[in-house]
Structure 1
Amino acid sequence: MGDRAFIPVRIAVLTVSDSRGLAEDRSGDVLVARLEGAGHLLADRAILPDERDQIAAQLRAWVSDPDIDVVISTGGTGLTGRDVTVEAHRDVYEKEIDAFSTLFTMVSVKKIGTSAVQSRACGGVAGGTYLFALPGSPGACKDGWDEILQPQLDYRHMPCNFVEIMPRLEEHQRRK
């Protein structure tokens, strides 16, 4: 980890569920506990139903908020008719982080075998904000955070991490 100091990032957590409220939101609780335990800041938290337009609107609102660096959603990444979180994320992304899906699948295969094929976890960038969609189970949230997001959101992680390139995410908008 070298001589680098930890840099906390501001993370919003979105739970997508037709049936859960804050009291039953175990997956959201897992993400909040882990991000705060790692030294990051909970910037906002919300629960929305499986409605593509509402999810995309919340993602856009957080992307436009200068006090939010990262959004992590949980839920709605499966294959059923109500699972629209991935489509909502892709409505917002400027760039997709394709390898996030691949790496999440690799992590999941170790835990749940071929059942990992049913997850459509994804990641992307919009307006200088990272957006990640994780499945709705507490175990999937633990795996996604512990195995991928925690190290990538730690400025000390080498050889590279998401935090060190944050200032450059919108360099295409600067005048040449």
Structure 2
Amino acid sequence: MSTIPHPDPVELVVSCAVLTVSDTRTIETDKSGQRIQQLLEAAGHGVVAYAVVKDDPDQIRSHLEALSQRSDLDALIFNGGTGIAPRDTTYDAIERLLEKTLPGFGELFRWLSYQEIGSRAIASRAIAGVFQTKLVFSLPGSTNAVTLAMEKLILPELKHLVSQLRQG
């Protein structure tokens, strides 16, 4: 079984926003947000916005809605707040706004996570979808989790998914 997707027909630089959802991290201590940016840039994509956002549903929604209005942005990648602790509100804030979901993203992410961390993978509420023509990913906040999602799922499909959205 091949794990390499079909080649993308066009050269495409995807412009991304990276948002870390955390009550404790700062730009200086945000290893996961920094890792996402490094992987995007190494793959030839651009990071046009970056922020650390409090784990508050109103703030998360506000950032998502504001960034979705930007014409220079194709994808938003959130990390943090996807568990089930009382302060984990990213999934709840984002899921309600998505116009289309990509159920396979969460399913595959949990399957890949299970291979690395075992049954604790069931606590992840990673999700992806579309909001106002923007591709949206929401990942757990651990650096290992964002690396896994970026390398195995997001980077291999980012150009293809953005190309699909631009066809409309």
Fold shared by both chains (TM-score > 0.5)? yes
Query: After alignment, is 132-141 or 88-97 more displaced?
Result: 88-97
Amino acid at match of 2:135: Y
1:151 equivalent to 2:156? Answer: yes
Q: 1:22 is paired with a residue of what secondary structure?
A: coil
Identify if the C-alpha distance between structure 1 residues 21 and 164 changes in structure 2 by more than 3 Å, giving closer, same or farther: same
2:95 to 52, 66, 90: 90
Distance 2:8 2:130 in 1: 28
Distance 2:57 2:107 in 1: 23
Contact in 2 for aligned 1:60/1:92 (Cα 8 Å): no
1:130 equivalent to 2:130? Answer: no
1:112 equivalent to 2:123? Answer: no
1:142 to 142, 147, 158: 147
1:12 to 17, 37, 53: 17
Match of 1:166 in 2: 165
Shift of 1:42: 0.3
1:34 equivalent to 2:63? Answer: no
Contact in 1 for aligned 2:83/2:123 (Cα 8 Å): yes
Amino acid at match of 1:135: P
1:46 to 28, 48, 51: 51
Contact in 1 for aligned 2:74/2:162 (Cα 8 Å): no
Q: 2:96 is paired with a residue of what secondary structure?
A: helix
Distance 1:4 1:124 in 2: 22
Point out where structure 1 has 5 or more consecutive residues left out of the alignment.
Answer: 155-160, 172-176
Structure 2 length as normaliser, TM-score? 0.93
CA RMSD across the alignment: 1.3
Distance 2:140 2:150 in 1: 12
Q: 2:121 is paired with a residue of what secondary structure?
A: helix
Q: Output one character per residue of 1:102-143: Cα deviation in whole Å (capped at 9) or x when no partner.
A: 011111111111111111000110111000000000000000
Q: 2:32 is paired with a residue of what secondary structure?
A: helix
Shift of 1:31: 0.1
How many pairs were matched up? 163
Q: 1:46 is paired with a residue of what secondary structure?
A: strand
Distance 2:165 2:145 in 1: 25
Match of 1:157 in 2: none
Point out where structure 2 has 5 or more consecutive residues left out of the alignment.
Answer: 1-5
Shift of 1:164: 2.4
Seq. identity, %: 36
Shift of 1:29: 0.5
Distance 1:30 1:3 in 2: 24
Amino acid at match of 1:41: G
